[in-house]
Amino acid sequence: MGRLVDKNQLSPSPNDYYTYLWGGDNFMINPQRTEVMLKLNNYSGAGFKSKQNYGSGSEYSLTSLRNGESANSNHFELDFEFFGTNGTVQTNVFMNDTGHREQAFKLPFNPAWDFHTYEIRWNPFSIDTIPIRVHYHTPQKPYPIGPMHVEASIWNPPPEWIWPGPVNWANAPFIAHYTDFAFNACAAPSDDIKECYSTNYYWNTEKYTKLSDVEKRQMKVARATYMIYDYCSNPSTWQPECSL
């Protein structure tokens, strides 16, 4: 379960910011129009996406923030990915490439039992306000360089993707719940998103782009306690930013 939250707004309708993407009847909205449910069965998954593209912001979700159509193509993408309901969450970053910057964590709670806040604030990634990952970048090489959208989905990965593990269809259907659908972001008017780098947006100021000493300590403990895989520890996926 995930939240998309703007602290200045209270449970807006998903129709205010998002639109149906795929899934047919596996995409559902409750009668109060305050919650979206995405269902996975052995016929289909489902998904929705933001109506607008953005150049920067603070996103609360368990979704992808992406501007590509395929995880195998060159594009920019920031991910929270859940492997079923076993408590494993993987984060990933695509830098106009095919990604492979996975860092996985075994959560100290069952994510299927209650709503939690999964935030991507460039930077960091955090869960329930505790930072778990920072991906280093510089003002000379800002991220992203093009508009991106927010996307949420539930789906069954292809058989060659061994790491998520097989689906036990005896427990189907699987349903992901989303509520609180607003977020703070700079809407990207065109392909040129330089104005979204402005420090007039609070999330671009040093207070938010750099971790405080408290957050650094929190992240150090969280990573030492819960991280179960780091691409920087794998010679086949090591990237130059790992030296930072």
Cβ–Cβ < 8 Å for 238, 232: yes
User: What is the three-class DSSP state of 219?
Assistant: helix
Report the pLDDT value the prediction gives residue 3, as an integer from 0 to 100: 46
User: Is 160 one of the annotated active-site residues of the chain?
Assistant: no
Q: What is the CATH classification number for the domain harbouring 34?
A: 2.60.120.200
Q: Which residues of the chain have pLDDT under 70?
A: 1-15, 58-74, 122-123, 136-142, 181-182, 189-190
Whole domain around residue 115: which residue ranges? 2-243
- What is the C-alpha separation between 234 and 115, in angstroms, rounded? 32
Percent of the chain with pLDDT over 90: 25
- What is the C-alpha separation between 210 and 124, in angstroms, rounded? 8
Cβ–Cβ < 8 Å for 131, 226: no
Report the pLDDT value the prediction gives residue 207, as an integer from 0 to 100: 81
Say how far residue 2 (Cα) sits from the centre of its chain. 10
Instruction: Give residue 7's identity as a one-letter amino acid code.
Output: K
User: Among residues 35, 59, 77, 119, which one is catalytic?
Assistant: 77
User: Is 81 one of the annotated active-site residues of the chain?
Assistant: yes
Report the pLDDT value the prediction gives residue 136, as an integer from 0 to 100: 67
Q: Where are the beta strands (DSSP E) in 6-112?
A: 18-22, 27-29, 35-40, 46-50, 54-60, 64-66, 75-82, 88-97, 103-106
Report the pLDDT value the prediction gives residue 137, as an integer from 0 to 100: 61
Total domains in the chain come to: 1
User: Among residues 81, 102, 195, 241, which one is catalytic?
Assistant: 81
Report the pLDDT value the prediction gives residue 61, as an integer from 0 to 100: 41
- What is the C-alpha separation between 38 and 58, in angstroms, rounded? 23
